[in-house]
Structure 1
Amino acid sequence: MTTDVTSRPADGQETTASVRRVTDDLLERVEHRLRSFLAAERDRFAEVDDRAAVVLDTLSELVASGGKRIRPAFCITGYLAAGGDPRDPAIVDAAAGLEMLHVSALIHDDVLDNSTQRRGKPTMHTAFAEHHENSGWRGEARRFGEGMAILIGDLALVYSDELMSQAPAGLLAEWHRLRSEVHVGQCLDVTAAAEFSVDPRLSRLIALIKSGRYTIHRPLVMGADGAGRPDLAAAFAEYGEAIGEAFQLRDDLLDAFGDSAETGKPAGLDFSQHKMTLLLGWAMQRDEHVSTLMTEPGHTPDEVRRRLLDTGVPEDVERHIADLVERGRKAIADAPIAPAWRAELADMAVRVTYRKN
């Protein structure tokens, strides 16, 4: 961890280099906070029983396995852009709490989607099911694996609240909105997949509240609120809604056409789980045969991909993403923050949407 906390330039003239430096420093502190928090919990439960230590080891391994830390990055950027003090440890706790909530959502997502891979490794429920089977334990291996994953995902959710309890009080109202929103969004996502009805309005709503707002909009506003700048909420919301939707649409395209070796998870999960994404909704409006390919046995994901390409919808989604990025960048252009932070947010819009480092 960086020991010399980066401070703001003495003359107040922040540059691209200085904003990146202070943001990177805080993100390093978030990593340290997550590691030290989970290590302390592991030590505490190791005294109870070795099995409890395994639970913490499993959660810690997932937290440490990678991830872009997008939500902490937007929270910290919102905080610093709003004039927050980078030396205040409370914002580190807030960002760490956001990442822990994200980890909880990933674990539960993998169970809901019946996914076998996350970040290039077996998903948590898959690994526990395999361990159950290899150990010759009683009961059904699949139910054991899914049960353990759900419980550890819940534990991550508990820890997210524990970390957030140390965050600046001003951001807690937005935190509570974020948490309820993402859970309701998940319920809508599961219901829409079961109904399998073409409703682009509902698809867009799910993309926004399940992913877009929780990834960009609300973490950004949380950061500003934590710095005492609720006046930034409107500009940050307009920016965050647009870039959050673009972010989710990129995920939809990656699921349909991405390389699992690069994404770290199986391709085509939206097909197999009948997820009513905006991409698929638009395609089925143009070509009813897409629905048949997804729901009737005997068809391969490659057939679905070829049919999607024939509809021209992927190109339309790319154009929509570009429009959303432009809309987000315009929304931040006149925000009452330092020019260097406006430039940083404009650049972040491109980085997260097109998955650039």
Structure 2
Amino acid sequence: MTVAVDRTDPALLRGRFDAALAAFLDARRPGRPDDGTGAVHTALRRFVLAGGKRLRPLFCYWGWRGFGGPDGQPIVVAASALELFHAFALIHDDILDRSDRRRGEPTLHRHFAGLHAGAGWPGDPAAYGRAAALLCGDLCATWSAQMFHGCGLPAGRLRRGHPLLARMRAEVIAGEYLDVVAATGDGSVASALTVVRLKTARYTVTRPIQVGAALAGAAPDVVAALAGFGDPLGDAFQLRDDLLGVFGDPAVTGKSTMDDLREGKPTVLLALARAAAGPAGAARLRALVGDPALDQAGAAEARALIEASGARDTVERMIRARADAALVALDALPLAASARRALATLAEHAVERRA
């Protein structure tokens, strides 16, 4: 008896995205003898394929299917290209944030610093690590464009999606810049939400689903209307990320819960806590948060102050309100029923996740 396999099951789709990424990366393996870039290729391949939720390819894929695009390898490859852009963003973000861990492993700049130190090379291992990782990130951005344009879809379809990809790239960089600026700014909730929208929300949900829809031939006004679903859901996704960055389980998230506190990252969570903690609590938070030498005891005190301020509960309510708004918008969109169901499931996963 033949058992039908649903190739659009999320787990199988993630496997298909990973296979497409592996094939693309393997085709770019350095020649023999190694031209000197073998260490870069090995590190990048491991980084790209070592886990990840693959949300951006999933939203792109279902944007395509929602407006009549057929299942097939071209859209799988096109959607997977977004994951290479995501790798670029993560690598650069980790450098800027001076993060030590990503997905349970050393961040790429720490990996290269370790290679430098282990080999006993002259110079500063940390500087070498940052430079090597920076170039790896740039390479991921370049490869993302190459993978997208070589996916096998007709040129006319690709021209529909390219302006949205270009806008997404510009928004991520603008959001990253505003994140850097926000560290020297007023620390307000409004400025933190602006960073959330540009740096994460748009490129996690809105632009991927719009790219998929545009590739499938959705009308421009319908593509624009997808922001009613993507923007609030992307906001909720990042707000959840901010909570996990302080209150998550590192064994599950693969990231330290000390980084945001030590860096003094200008998140909505911390902005709300400072605003609601009262003079004494806000002063103590200012002393603790942003201290590069913050220890576990200090972090525990900061978490207690954030909890007592009500900021954690407020962010949870903000997440739920935005997720609900996204689902209402989803119901009003002219999507195929299967895509609507898949996107609703993805939305719940994005906001209820613990990693």
Q: In the alignment, which residue of structure 1 is the partner of 2:205? A: 216
2:91 to 103, 107, 118: 107
- Alignment CA distance shift 1:308-1:70 (3 Å): same
- 2:174 and 2:145 map into 1 onto residues whose CA distance is 18
Q: TM-score w.r.t. structure 2 length?
A: 0.90
- 1:198 and 1:37 map into 2 onto residues whose CA distance is 42
Matched, 1:125 2:120: no
- How is 1:80-119 mapped onto 2 (pairs within 5 angstroms)? 80-87=65-72, 89-119=73-103
Matched, 1:239 2:234: no
1:228 to 212, 217, 221: 217
2:286 to 271, 287, 291: 291
Structure 1: tracts of 5 or more residues without a match: 7-17
What one-letter code is carried by the residue in structure 2 that aligns with 1:214?
Answer: Y
Matched, 1:151 2:135: yes
Offset of residue 344 of structure 1:
2.2
- 2:12 and 2:71 map into 1 onto residues whose CA distance is 9
Offset of residue 232 of structure 1:
2.5
1:59 to 44, 69, 77: 44
- 2:92 and 2:246 map into 1 onto residues whose CA distance is 21
Q: Which stretch shows the higher mean deviation, 148-157 or 26-35?
A: 26-35
Q: In the alignment, which residue of structure 1 is the partner of 2:28? A: 41
3-state SS of the aligned residue for 1:72? helix
Instruction: Count residues with an aligned counterpart.
Output: 338
Do 2:228 and 2:326's aligned partners in 1 also have CA atoms closer than 8 Å? yes
- 1:141 and 1:356 map into 2 onto residues whose CA distance is 34
- 2:133 and 2:294 map into 1 onto residues whose CA distance is 31
CA RMSD of aligned residues (A): 2.1
Q: What does the per-residue CA deviation read over 1:275-306, in whole Å, with 9 as the maximum and x for residues that have no partner?
A: 11111111111122222321467771111101
What one-letter code is carried by the residue in structure 1 that aligns with 2:63?
Answer: G
Offset of residue 182 of structure 1:
0.2
3-state SS of the aligned residue for 1:41? coil
Offset of residue 116 of structure 1:
1.0
Offset of residue 5 of structure 1:
11
Offset of residue 31 of structure 1:
1.8
What one-letter code is carried by the residue in structure 2 that aligns with 1:241?
Answer: D
- 1:234 and 1:72 map into 2 onto residues whose CA distance is 19
Q: In the alignment, which residue of structure 1 is the partner of 2:259? A: 269
- 1:341 and 1:164 map into 2 onto residues whose CA distance is 22
- 1:356 and 1:77 map into 2 onto residues whose CA distance is 23
- Alignment CA distance shift 1:5-1:75 (3 Å): farther
Offset of residue 272 of structure 1:
1.2
- How is 1:4-23 mapped onto 2 (pairs within 5 angstroms)? 20-21=8-9
What one-letter code is carried by the residue in structure 2 that aligns with 1:243?
Answer: L
Q: What does the per-residue CA deviation read over 1:43-79, in whole Å, with 9 as the maximum and x for residues that have no partner?
A: xx23363531121111001111110101000000110
What one-letter code is carried by the residue in structure 2 that aligns with 1:203?
Answer: A
2:180 to 190, 194, 199: 190
- 2:323 and 2:273 map into 1 onto residues whose CA distance is 22
- 1:221 and 1:5 map into 2 onto residues whose CA distance is 30
1:309 to 300, 307, 310: 307
1:30 to 9, 17, 35: 17
Structure 2: tracts of 5 or more residues without a match: 152-157
Matched, 1:138 2:122: yes
Q: In the alignment, which residue of structure 2 is the partner of 1:205? A: 194
Q: TM-score w.r.t. structure 1 length?
A: 0.89
What one-letter code is carried by the residue in structure 2 that aligns with 1:339?
Answer: A
Matched, 1:76 2:61: yes
- Alignment CA distance shift 1:346-1:356 (3 Å): farther
- 1:332 and 1:205 map into 2 onto residues whose CA distance is 23
